[in-house]
Amino acid sequence: MSMHSTSNRQESQDISQEAPADGAFTRMLKRVLLKQATISSVEKLGAQYVRIRLQGDALRDQNWTPGDKIQVSLGRGFENRTYTPVSWDAAQGCAEFIVYLHGGTATCAFFDRVQPGIPLSFMGPRSSLELTRLQQPLLFGDETCLGLAAALVQVQPHAGAAMVFEVDDIVQTSQVLRALGLRDAMVVRRQSGDVHLAQVSEAILRVALPDTGFILAGRAAAIQAIKRHLNDAGVSNRSIKAKAYWAAGKRGLD
C-alpha cells in the first residue's frame, strides 16, 4: 500500500516534466496557496474525454457556483491549467471536471494515464462565467466546454439551454454529450479557415429569442468571430458573456 501511494505522489509531480523541482520556499508557498485533493475516480467518457473526480477535506464548505473554474497545479513551480467543475458537493468534499485530451502536451499525457489515488493540488473555485442569472441561455463552445454545458443544465434545468459546439470529431463528442444528457446540442465540424463559423452564427441567430443570454466559450478566435456576427446582427454586448478557454499557440490561457 505504501509503495503504491509513493509512486502515485511521484507521478503527480511529473505533469510538468521540463520544470526544475520546487525549492523549499516554493513548496511552503504552495502548501499555503493550494488546496490538496485526491483523485478518487477516473472515467473515460470517450477516447479524448476523461471525467476526473476529486475528493478531500479542502473541497468541503467551498462556495461553488456553476461556471466557476479551478486552476490545477502542474506539479512544479506555479504553472497551472484551468478546468470547469461540472459539480461540487461541499458537504461530501468532492467535485468533478471533464478534461478534453487535445493531445501533445504533458497535461494531456498526465490526464490520459492518471489513476485514482493520485494527489492533485489546485486553486479555486474562482468565478469565471456567471451562469445563474441568464434568462434564455444559449451556449457556444467546443470540446473544452462540456463541463461548462453540464454545469449550465444543472443550474438552469428548466431554461432549455440551446447549445452549439464546434469540434474536430463529431461522432465522439456527440456520444459524450449524449452520455452527459445533453442530447439536443448541435455539433458542427471545425473547418480550416473557420468557414463553419458563418453557419454556426446563423444557427445561433435562428434559435435566439429577444431575451437570450449568450455564453461564448472555448477557442479565442471562434469566440471573436461569433461575437462579431452577433454584434453585426444587432445583439448588444450586454447580452453576451464571453470567456476564451484556449488560443492556438498560447499555453495555459487564463
Ligand X SMILES: Cc1cc2nc3c(=O)[nH]c(=O)nc-3n(C[C@H](O)[C@H](O)[C@H](O)COP(=O)(O)OP(=O)(O)OC[C@H]3O[C@@H](n4cnc5c(N)ncnc54)[C@H](O)[C@@H]3O)c2cc1C
Let me know: does 205 contact 197? Beta carbons within 8 Å.
no
- Chosen residue from 51, 81, 190, 227 binding ligand X by CB under 6 A: 81
- Chosen residue from 108, 155, 188, 203 binding ligand X by CB under 6 A: 108
- The three-state secondary structure class of 17 is coil
**Residue 3-42 contact track with ligand X, rule CB under 6 A, x = bound:** ----------------------------------------
Instruction: By CB under 6 A, tell whether 251 contacts ligand X.
Output: yes
Instruction: By CB under 6 A, tell whether 126 contacts ligand X.
Output: no
As beta bridge partners, residue 188 has 166
Instruction: By CB under 6 A, tell whether 100 contacts ligand X.
Output: yes
- Chosen residue from 35, 51, 53, 69 binding ligand X by CB under 6 A: 69
Closer Cβ to ligand X, 105 or 205, answer by number: 105
Alpha helices, DSSP H, located in the chain: 2-12, 24-33, 106-113, 146-155, 170-179, 196-207, 220-232
Instruction: By CB under 6 A, tell whether 73 contacts ligand X.
Output: no
With CB under 6 A as the contact rule, which of the stretches 24-32, 38-46, 94-102, 208-216 interacts with ligand X?
A: 94-102
Instruction: By CB under 6 A, tell whether 130 contacts ligand X.
Output: no
Question: In angstroms, rounded to a whole number, what is the distance separating the alpha carbons of residues 16 and 252?
Answer: 12
Contact positions with ligand X (CB under 6 A) in 42-61: none
Question: In angstroms, rounded to a whole number, what is the distance separating the alpha carbons of residues 171 and 176?
Answer: 9
- Region of 83 (left: φ > 0; alpha: ψ -120 to 50; beta: rest) is beta
- Chosen residue from 12, 84, 156, 173 binding ligand X by CB under 6 A: 84
Instruction: By CB under 6 A, tell whether 122 contacts ligand X.
Output: no
Let me know: does 130 contact 67? Beta carbons within 8 Å.
yes
DSSP 18: T
As beta bridge partners, residue 139 has 163, 215
With CB under 6 A as the contact rule, which of the stretches 40-48, 103-111, 187-195, 223-231 interacts with ligand X?
A: 103-111
Closer Cβ to ligand X, 5 or 191, answer by number: 191
Let me know: does 240 contact 234? Beta carbons within 8 Å.
no
Instruction: By CB under 6 A, tell whether 105 contacts ligand X.
Output: yes
Closer Cβ to ligand X, 200 or 208, answer by number: 200
Characterize 208-244 residue by residue with b for buried, 16 or more Cβ atoms within 10 angstroms of its Cβ, and e for exposed: beeebbbbbbbbbebbbbbbebbeeeebeeebbbbbb
- Chosen residue from 147, 150, 227, 241 binding ligand X by CB under 6 A: 147
Instruction: By CB under 6 A, tell whether 246 contacts ligand X.
Output: yes
Let me know: does 135 contact 162? Beta carbons within 8 Å.
no
Smallest gap, in angstroms, from Cβ of residue 217 to ligand X?
Answer: 7
Residues forming the site for ligand X (CB under 6 A): 69, 81-84, 97-100, 102, 105, 107-108, 128, 143-144, 147, 243, 245-254
